[in-house]
Amino acid sequence: MLPLVCETLERAERKFEAIEFRRRLAGLAPTNQINLFQLSVLLAGVGEVDESLAYCRRLLEINRHHLAAAANFLLYMNYSDRYSAAEISNERFRLGMRFTERPEKIPRRLRQPGERICIGYLGSDFYTHPVGEIVLPILESHDRSQFDVTVYHDGSHRCRLRFWVTPIHRPCKRLTII
């Protein structure tokens, strides 16, 4: 019943009224990850940072690989006056180590003589935007005899992209609009 009440309040744009119900649910179902996460977000939204951090911490004890909880925990630490910059940095490193498991080793593929390495850049700011201005010299710095560079633009500014297409095409093999 409590999850339904919380969901109904949130759909009615009354999400902060759900805090008390989510607290009760956290007491009744202390391992409900969705509730713990939502509760931590809501509490941070009303300035209850320390309580929000406690729920993030509890969630990370239940699921040590909950990436969103880890990210929010680090973010909310910045809003608390209890932590120094050094403590936040140390916590960032400690949490980051949880997500550094080594992937399966990928077999190395031998390149043919003269074969170029393909590089792709994906972004939504390849237009007259500061990011576009920063990326252009990076694209131009690739040695075209050794690299094929493709830019994949997935932004909504397609109309403004045309002003940037000419400069970006010079250093790129392709510009693909997704």
| Structure confidence by residue, pLDDT tens digits, 22-70 | 899 899 999 999 999 999 999 999 999 999 999 999 999 999 889 999 9
**What's the total number of domains in the chain?**
2
Distance CA 82, CA 76 (A): 11
Based on the fold, state whether residues 74 and 18 are members of the same structural domain.
yes
Domain identity same for 66 and 123? no
pLDDT at 171: 66
Instruction: Provide the residue range defining the domain that includes 148.
Output: 117-177
Q: Which residues of the chain carry a pLDDT beneath 50?
A: 163
Determine the pLDDT at residue 165.
58
Regarding whether 71 and 10 lie in a shared domain, the answer is yes
Rg of the chain taking only CA atoms, in angstroms: 23
pLDDT of 170: 62
Final residue before a domain boundary, out of 68, 99, 130: 99
- What's the CA gap between 83 and 9, in Å, rounded? 33
Q: Which of 72, 99, 126 is the last residue of a domain?
A: 99
- CATH number for the domain that contains residue 33: 1.25.40.10
Q: Give me the pLDDT at residue 163, please.
A: 45
Last residue of a domain, one of 33, 68, 99: 99
Residue 160: per-residue pLDDT? 55
pLDDT value of residue 46: 93
The pLDDT, as a whole number, for residue 57 is: 95
